[in-house]
């Protein structure tokens, strides 16, 4: 399946109103597993009703007054399935530890900015097993943390998918550096994409710098000020559909498999020189 033509991200920027309204409907049955008591009690504290819309604005509204609840609502907003990587246990543990996480995030709000890489590694360690950059970048964003590279924004797998897809011209540079060098020219999309996701924490600083730099440049072009989170949501909203990405991944995997088989069938240098060697 051919890749779509690259375009400027300026064409896809959401309005500020659309940004704050971005969210999902709360599905109570996904958060009611009796095995996970911390999740169940957290949902009760949040007072969410089945079908209630949970938006970015809702999370921001809790940050100052109830930061512990804001940590939990960030997860509800970001993971409407009630799972992280198909598991509820990391969410249950994070809900249990929400007060400690909120306290540290509140401290970081007042502290001198850290390098983005150091910040995200600290948050990954703080939040525990099963929680990584997709989640901690959400917390850093909602708590308004700033790094030496710029304001924190969300950096999850949908964002990476869009960057690796080559959808926007402004992210070509970051796209070429995401996979490790030996895999950058691989014909197998599955390999490149998986490796790019594995580089998520390592590439967080470059991503933050790119998004903040781009927002400033687009603001200068006018007519409106562009914020880094508008750029992030444009990336998120333009991720290729899972079915389309999966089809290309399977296709590239087939190409890779055929190439591997052809190489396996080629005679070695010794065989070529001496057909009777075998």
pLDDT digit string (tens) for 16-26? 999 999 999 99
Q: What is the mean pLDDT of residues 215-232?
A: 96
* Cα angle: 267, vertex 268, 274; to 5 degrees: 85
Residue-level pLDDT at 151:
98
Q: Is residue 271 in some structural domain?
A: no
How far is residue 215's CA from residue 213's CA, in Å, rounded to a whole number? 6
Model confidence pLDDT, tens digit, residues 28-39: 999 999 999 999
Q: Is residue 254 in some structural domain?
A: yes
Residue-level pLDDT at 273:
43
Q: Do residues 180 and 214 both lie within one domain?
A: yes
Q: Which residue has the higher pLDDT, 188 or 128?
A: 128
Q: Do residues 25 and 92 both lie within one domain?
A: yes
Residue-level pLDDT at 90:
96
Residue-level pLDDT at 191:
65
Q: Is residue 232 in some structural domain?
A: yes
**Containing structural domain, residue 117:** 14-152
pLDDT band, residue 6 (cuts 50/70/90): confident
Residue-level pLDDT at 275:
37
Residue-level pLDDT at 167:
85
Residue-level pLDDT at 199:
82
Q: Do residues 205 and 139 both lie within one domain?
A: no
Model confidence pLDDT, tens digit, residues 107-151: 999 999 999 999 999 999 999 999 999 999 999 999 999 999 999
Q: Do residues 135 and 42 both lie within one domain?
A: yes
Number of domains, the chain: 2
CB atoms within 10 A of CB 227: 19
Q: Do residues 134 and 24 both lie within one domain?
A: yes
Q: Is residue 272 in some structural domain?
A: no
Model confidence pLDDT, tens digit, residues 225-265: 999 999 999 999 998 876 455 444 444 444 445 445 554 55
Residue-level pLDDT at 272:
42
In the block, tokens 């007054």 appear at 65
Q: Is residue 2 in some structural domain?
A: no
Model confidence pLDDT, tens digit, residues 54-106: 999 999 999 999 999 999 999 999 999 999 989 999 999 999 999 999 999 99
């Amino acid at each position: 399946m051919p890749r779509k033509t690259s375009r400027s991200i300026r064409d896809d920027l959401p309005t500020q109103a659309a940004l704050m309204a971005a969210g999902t409907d709360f599905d109570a049955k996904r958060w009611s597993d009796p095995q996970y008591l911390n999740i169940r009690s957290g949902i009760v504290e949040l007072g969410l009703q089945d079908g209630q819309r949970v938006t970015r604005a809702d999370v921001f509204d809790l940050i100052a007054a109830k930061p512990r609840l804001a940590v939990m609502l960030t997860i509800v907003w970001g993971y409407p399935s009630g799972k992280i990587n198909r598991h509820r246990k990391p969410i249950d543990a994070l809900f249990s530890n929400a007060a400690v996480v909120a306290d540290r995030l509140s401290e970081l709000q007042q502290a001198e900015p850290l390098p983005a890489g150091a910040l995200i590694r600290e948050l990954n360690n703080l939040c525990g097993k099963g929680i990584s950059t997709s989640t901690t970048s959400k917390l850093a964003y909602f708590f308004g943390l700033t790094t030496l590279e710029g304001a924190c924004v969300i950096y999850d797998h949908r964002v990476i998918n869009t960057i690796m897809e080559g959808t926007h011209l402004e992210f070509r540079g970051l796209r070429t550096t995401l996979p490790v060098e030996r895999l950058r020219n691989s014909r197998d999309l599955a390999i490149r994409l998986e490796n790019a996701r594995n580089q998520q924490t390592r590439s967080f600083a470059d991503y933050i710098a790119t998004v903040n730099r781009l927002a400033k440049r687009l603001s200068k072009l006018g007519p409106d000020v562009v914020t880094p989170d508008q750029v992030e949501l444009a990336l998120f909203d333009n991720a290729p559909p899972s079915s389309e990405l999966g089809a290309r991944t399977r296709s590239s995997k087939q190409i890779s498999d055929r190439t591997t088989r052809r190489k396996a069938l080629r005679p070695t240098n010794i065989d070529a020189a001496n057909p009777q060697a075998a």
